[in-house]
Amino acid sequence: MAAIEELQALIATVSNSAVKALAEVSDRRAAGERDGQYGLDLIVDRPLVQTLLDNGLGVLSEEAGLLEADRPLLAVVDPVDGSTNASRGVSWFATSICIFDDEGPLVALVENHSTRERFEAVRGSGATRNGVPLSPVSALPESERIVLLNGAPGAERAWGQYRVLGASALDISYVAAGVVDGYIDFDTEAHGVWDYSGALLVCQEVGVPIADAFGRDLIHRDMGERRTPVVAHDEATLERFIEIRQAGGS
């Protein structure tokens, strides 16, 4: 197995290439090959996937599917998390890469293309934001919380304000960093494992609770499975957010 440092260097290089590839796309609104896919997704994904395969990893990509699944390491990839934002020029989109071994997420990187801000994590070794170690954050009182949502919330609230930004890997990473106070997916079965796995490892390494709203395991290797992630700064708040999500999603 490759050393952790080698895996970190590999995904950093791959992410850097993804940022450069997307920056060179002239028509960001061009359609891809299936419903909901943009041409930019494929332009970024193809060389990214090939590099990972060439370095001996299997790949589970939102765009390319599951490739070389029998290899000991599997890179779970969202080449452009927040593709619609990227297509419209909204500066909130990222590349997310998480390498799994037999025990689950091992090494992860989430990079904001617009700011080049990087969240990185290694299982058992903590997480960083732009190289600075992240530390646990205490939950704020309900009226002071700002949470990020996917989809439309129901009537019941447990926060002061909310935002819907449209890139779950970045959204969840910002909860881990303490910038915002939670994340709730109000959409219906919208997220593949590539959408959140990089940010999930960041959360786990900081001690930020993250769960599926319906009690399912967030970590899997199935292209067709979908989950409903919820994130908060402590278990009590997480349970409250889950109750709200179960009571009123779209």
Each domain of the chain, given as residue ranges in start order, spans 4-133, 142-247
Q: Which residues in the chain land under pLDDT 50?
A: 250
Question: Which pLDDT value is given to residue 1?
Answer: 59
Question: Which pLDDT value is given to residue 250?
Answer: 44
Give me the sheet containing 146-150, strands edge to edge. Answer: 161-163, 146-150, 182-185, 229-232, 210-212
How far is Cα 158 from Cα 37, in angstroms, rounded to an integer? Answer: 34
Token pair for 28: 């960001």
Token pair for 159: 């926060």
Token pair for 155: 């009537």
Give the bridge partners for 133, in sequence order. Answer: 128
The CATH class for the domain spanning 142-247 reads alpha beta
Fold of the 4-133 domain: Fructose-1,6-Bisphosphatase; Chain A, domain 1 (3.30.540)
| pTM confidence score | 0.94
**What pLDDT digit, counting tens, does each position of 15-59 carry?**
999 999 999 999 888 887 788 789 999 999 999 999 999 999 999
Question: Which pLDDT value is given to residue 243?
Answer: 95
How far is Cα 240 from Cα 91, in angstroms, rounded to an integer? Answer: 31
Question: Which pLDDT value is given to residue 244?
Answer: 95
